[in-house]
Amino acid sequence: MIPVRPTSALVCLCVLATLSGVSPARAEAGSTPGASPSPAASPSPSSSPKPQVLHLQAKAEALEQQILALQMQSAPLELKAVQAAQQAAAAQSQLATAQVTLAGANARIAETTALMRSAQATLQWDRQRLAALIVAKYKITTNGTAVNALLQSRTLMDALDKVVSYGRVTDDMNTLVLDVRRNADQLTELQSQQQEEERQIAAEVDAVQTLHTQALQEQARFQRQAGQLTGRASTLTQQLEKVMVQLAEAEGMPAAKLAASGAGAGAIAGALPPFAYGPRVDDFPWGQCTWYVASLRDVTWGGDAWEWLAAAAAQGKPEGVVPKVGAIVVFGPGNGYSDIGHVAYVESVVGPTSFIVDEANSYGLGVVDKRLIASLTDVEGFIY
């Protein structure tokens, strides 16, 4: 199960196998379930390693420890970079929502402004009509114009009806003007409220935009710091590769044989040869993560990596979410791993949520490495 590695992936910590003719197996066939890989056999007094070999072995071990230390320093930074990226994504989503809300507020203000202009135009027109009616009423009720109205009317009742109608129309117009004015005042108040809402939403958009920018800056800063550490680790890894070649030559082992034995796997050309050092013969494909873990633990179930938790539980195997030495850690599909998940052997525990795994096929089919896992983000569980 080859994971899809992010650009900030940890530098592979090569597995150091002794080069004195001992098999690279971490656990021999018939080892007890859950037991840690057995150490390489000590050389007999008659075959004591040369001083040069001891020196190179010590140098290789020192380089390995330095690489692991750099990984442990860079892992929290990479975790912070991931968290910053998640914050940036959340801020981006929030920003999009706030911008949609702001656009809606702008649309409501535009609609209210159009209604207010229409109401103000209607108010102005009604005021003009009211003024004309007041003038007409004045003309027929003052300065003797009423006499002319009476003379021009066919009957007295016609004249009186005309005067009364002007008065009624004037009262109706006055009521209409007041209604329109009240409506215009309400629209003015609504516009003021909407403008305040728009101001608040715009301030929220600015704040979210600032948060998004800060999150991106923090992500870049953490990635840069982690990159500096992993760059140093990469340099040390190259030095380690050279030491392993020198160590092979010092023991009279050709580099080709070193590659085939799996020592320094992932660094010197190649994959491990087919082997099975578990207590039983299994059907897991050679070179896969399941194949390698099954060689370190007594795995009595089958299936792809992501299925191991359910398969082990069905056989009554204890499980949990706390890393423990000797446990099998199961990673879910995706999130940097393949669509069928990934499994590894917990070699040591660093903290409540961080641990070092021994695994295969993380950097290539049959390639064994050690890696620091800094969080439980992609972990589905542990099989104890």
Q: Of 7-21, 80-94, 292-306, which range is least confident?
A: 7-21
Residue 314's contacts (CB-CB under 8 Å, 6 or more residues apart) are: 301
Q: Which residue has the tokens 């009364």?
A: 164
The mean pLDDT value of the chain amounts to 73
Distance of CA 103 to the CA centre of its chain: 27
Helices (H), 142-155: 145-152
- Greatest alpha-carbon pair distance for the chain in Å reads 150
Band of residue 341 on the pLDDT scale cut at 50, 70, 90: very high
Q: What is the pLDDT of residue 256?
A: 40
Q: When comparing pLDDT for 338 and 317, which is higher?
A: 317
- Model confidence at 93, pLDDT cuts 50, 70, 90, reads confident
Q: Name all domains of the chain by residue range, CATH numbers in brackets.
A: 49-264 (1.10.287.2610), 271-384 (3.90.1720.10)
Kindly report the pTM of this predicted structure: 0.44
Q: Which residues of 309-342 are buried (b: 16+ CB within 10 A; e: fewer)?
A: bebbeeeebebeeebeebbbbbbbbeeebbebbb
Please indicate whether residue 251 or residue 63 has the higher confidence score (pLDDT): 63
Cβ neighbours of 46 (radius 10 Å): 5
Q: Say how many C-beta atoms besides its own lie within 10 A of residue 237's C-beta.
A: 22
What mean pLDDT is predicted for residues 285-291? Answer: 87
What are 207's two structure tokens? 């704040």
Least confident segment among 96-105, 129-138, 174-183: 129-138
d(CA 127, CA 215): 59
Q: Would you place residue 379 in the very low, low, confident or very high pLDDT band (cuts 50, 70, 90)?
A: very high
Rounded Cα distance, 117 and 95, in Å:
33
The arithmetic mean of pLDDT across residues 128-140, rounded, is 70
Check residue 301 and give its pLDDT: 93
How does DSSP assign 270-338, residue by residue? -PPPS---SSS---PPTTSHHHHHTTTS-----S-GGGHHHHHHHTT--EESS--TTPEEEEPSBTTB-
Residues 222/84, Cβ–Cβ less than 8 Å? yes
Residues 6+ apart with CB under 8 A from 331: 3, 305, 306, 337, 341, 342, 343, 344, 378, 379, 380
Distance CA 283, CA 162 (A): 110
What pLDDT, on a 0 to 100 scale, did the predictor assign at position 216? Answer: 87
- Highest averaged pLDDT of the listed ranges 128-137, 274-283, 310-319: 310-319
Q: Is the CB of residue 99 less than 8 Å from the CB of residue 41?
A: no
- Among the ranges 52-61, 99-108, 168-177, 229-238, which has the highest mean pLDDT value? 99-108
* pLDDT above 90 (res 211): no
Q: pLDDT by residue (tens digit) across 2-40?
A: 443 333 333 333 333 333 333 333 333 333 333 333 333
What percent of the chain shows pLDDT beyond 70?
A: 70
Mean pLDDT confidence for 200-225: 87
Q: What percentage of the chain has pLDDT greater than the value 90?
A: 13
- pLDDT band of residue 148 (cuts 50, 70, 90) is low
Q: What is the CA radius of gyration of the chain?
A: 42
Q: How confident is the model at residue 262 (pLDDT cuts 50, 70, 90)?
A: very low
> What pLDDT, in 10s, does the model give residues 42-51?
444 445 667 8
Stretch 62-76: mean pLDDT = 79
DSSP 375: -
User: For residues 46 and 311, is the Cβ–Cβ distance under 8 A?
Assistant: no
- Mean pLDDT within 186-196: 85
